[in-house]
Amino acid sequence: MPTTIRLLNLLSLLQARRDWPGSLLAERLRISDRTVRRDIERLREMGYAIETTMGPDGGYSLAAGTELPPLLFDDDQVVAVAIALHTATIVGADIDEPAARALTTIRQVLPSPLRHRLDALQIIAIAQRPGGSAPTAVPLESLVEIARAIRDHVILRIDYASRGQSATDGGIPPRRVEPHHLINAQGHWYLLAWDLDRDDWRLFRVERIKPRTPAGPRFEHREVPGGGVAEFVSARFKGSGSNDWSCRGSVILDLPIGEVLPFIGDGTAHEAEPDRTIVESGSWSWGSLAASFGRFDVPMEVVGPPELRAAFATLAERYAKAATR
């Protein structure tokens, strides 16, 4: 085995588990114990911090070093890193530009098939609101297959499970969609697509999608309405045709503004008095909006509109009945 390939294989083994007995490394690589020791020294000279444990069961382990040496990734790890870099904008840190440079660096050294797989991953990330639901895991291959259909502008035939079903359940009628964008929002993965059977835009939860093969014919790209993908998706989440809540109202909380701002979400706040704060927010219904103000758990005064005041009265009656049951 050429030395370079042997060193790469040795490094891959060291990255795969914490401790390796020297004899087991020699057996896996089909080399002598002496060659293992010599190759370990070569890796140390390249910047890898490899620790040695002595004794009958002694061996080697890869430790943290003082600088970043070259790293080895398998294909799935590369795609996983690419997804993380694509969605870096939603973590709240100013890392957009470093993330873009890192993605470019990774892409430059990839073999052609893996580079095409990576190029298909065009993801739009929308930050999660405070108090959102827990993130949902989706199969990596589903993301890649959907991304490839988006890149190639080909119609997807999918099984789409209802809420509570699995995409692998039988008896689900297939749907035909023109896939346009992969979106990570509110801790979930979505496909924004034109539903050919319903003649309208739809948001599909990716974990409930099972793509069928083969894919359909090519389609012409459509412009997403509403000022852009992020605006359109945000409007759908809010249950309105525009990126604004259909119900908006204000209250005065008996709290200083400093204790309100960390939990304001997409609302606004300004000081009414030193220990009182005016908060304006929105929701998909008046009852939901009134209930959302209750999370501050302090006395408050309704500013308006009248629909919000009526919603508070309805909730008060409902909660009072619940407390006596």
Helices then strands, each counted (H, E), the chain: 11, 13
| R_g of the chain computed on alpha carbons | 27
Instruction: Give CA–CA dist 33/319, Å, rounded.
Output: 74
- Would you state the pLDDT for residue 272? 83
pLDDT tens column, 168-196: 555 567 889 999 888 877 667 888 889 98
Task: Write down the residue that tokens 């990126």 correspond to.
Answer: 243
- Does 190 or 100 have the greater pLDDT score? 190
Instruction: Give CA–CA dist 20/60, Å, rounded.
Output: 5
CB 193 within 8 A of CB 177: yes
* Domains of the chain, start order: 3-63 (1.10.10.10), 75-119 (no CATH), 140-237 (no CATH), 247-324 (3.30.70.250)
- Would you state the pLDDT for residue 164? 56
Cis status, amide bond into 305, omega within 30 of 0 = yes
174-185/156-160 β-pairing: antiparallel
Q: Where are the alpha helices (DSSP H) in the chain?
A: 3-16, 22-29, 33-45, 75-86, 96-108, 112-119, 140-152, 229-237, 257-260, 286-293, 306-324
Instruction: Give CA–CA dist 102/109, Å, rounded.
Output: 12
Comparing C-alpha atoms, which of 275, 303, 280, 274 is closest to residue 292? 280
Task: Write down the residue that tokens 């588990």 correspond to.
Answer: 17
Amino acid at 211: P
Rounded to an integer, the average pLDDT of 217-235 is: 79
- Would you state the pLDDT for residue 90? 55
CB 280 within 8 A of CB 265: no
Q: Tokens standing for 191?
A: 């496909």
Q: Is the pLDDT of residue 244 over 60?
A: no
Q: Tokens standing for 314?
A: 């309805």
- Would you state the pLDDT for residue 306? 92
- Would you state the pLDDT for residue 314? 92
> SS3 of 258, please?
helix
pLDDT tens column, 26-80: 888 889 989 998 999 988 888 788 888 876 667 888 887 655 566 677 777 777 7
Task: Write down the residue that tokens 């030395």 correspond to.
Answer: 3
CB within 8 A of 49, min separation 6: which ones? 62, 63, 64, 65, 66
- Would you state the pLDDT for residue 169? 53
Look up the pTM and report it: 0.50
Cβ atoms within 10 Å of 188's Cβ, excluding its own:
19
CB 71 within 8 A of CB 11: no
CB within 8 A of 256, min separation 6: which ones? 271, 274, 275, 276, 277
- Beta bridge pairs of residue 297: none
